């Protein structure tokens, strides 16, 4: 029963990640670069949570991509190569969302958005393949 519930949660999280990926791609076309950075962080967070649920992990409500990746690496050592990506993307969660924490304009740059979206797509696709949806 629990295993089935975790698999269902994994697919729900992956679907949410895909929604955010599509949203990020649309935001890129609109040149909403800070939004792309934020949404790319969300894609990776939701993808990693999907994978961890798929692996049977009970998750806490966290947004720290580094911690989520560390947990995922225990099951999938090949994901270690994304440590740099998750470190960068983790900083986008707060700084692009809350104006009293950071200056959103710092992230309103095409090159940052392109890099973030590239990582988000790559991580999403590898996790989608692992889950087999």
Please tell me whether residue 119 adopts helix, strand or coil conformation.
helix
Rg, the chain, Cα only: 14
CA 120 remoteness from chain centre:
6
The rounded distance, in Å, linking the Cα atoms of 90 and 6 is 25
How many residues are recorded in the chain?
A: 133
The rounded distance, in Å, linking the Cα atoms of 37 and 24 is 8
| pLDDT, tens digit, 9 for 90 and up, residues 68-98 | 999 999 999 999 999 999 999 988 875 556 5
CATH number of the domain within which 53 lies: 1.20.120.330
More confident residue, 22 or 107: 22
Domain count across the chain: 1
The rounded distance, in Å, linking the Cα atoms of 23 and 68 is 22
Domain range enclosing 47: 2-131
| pLDDT, tens digit, 9 for 90 and up, residues 16-36 | 999 999 999 999 999 999 999
Which phi and psi (to 5°) does residue 101 adopt? -100, -40
């Amino acid at each position: 029963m629990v295993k089935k519930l975790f698999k269902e949660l994994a697919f729900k999280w992956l679907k949410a990640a895909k929604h955010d990926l599509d949203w990020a791609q649309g935001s890129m076309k609109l040149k909403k670069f800070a939004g792309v950075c934020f949404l790319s962080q969300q894609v990776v967070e939701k993808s990693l949570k999907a994978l961890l649920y798929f692996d049977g992990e009970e998750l806490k409500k966290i947004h720290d991509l580094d911690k989520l990746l560390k947990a995922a690496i225990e099951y999938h050592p090949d994901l270690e190569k994304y440590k740099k990506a998750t470190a960068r993307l983790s900083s986008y969660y707060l700084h692009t969302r809350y104006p009293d924490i950071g200056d959103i304009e710092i992230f309103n740059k095409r090159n940052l958005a392109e890099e973030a979206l590239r990582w988000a797509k790559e991580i999403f696709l590898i996790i989608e393949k692992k889950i087999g949806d």
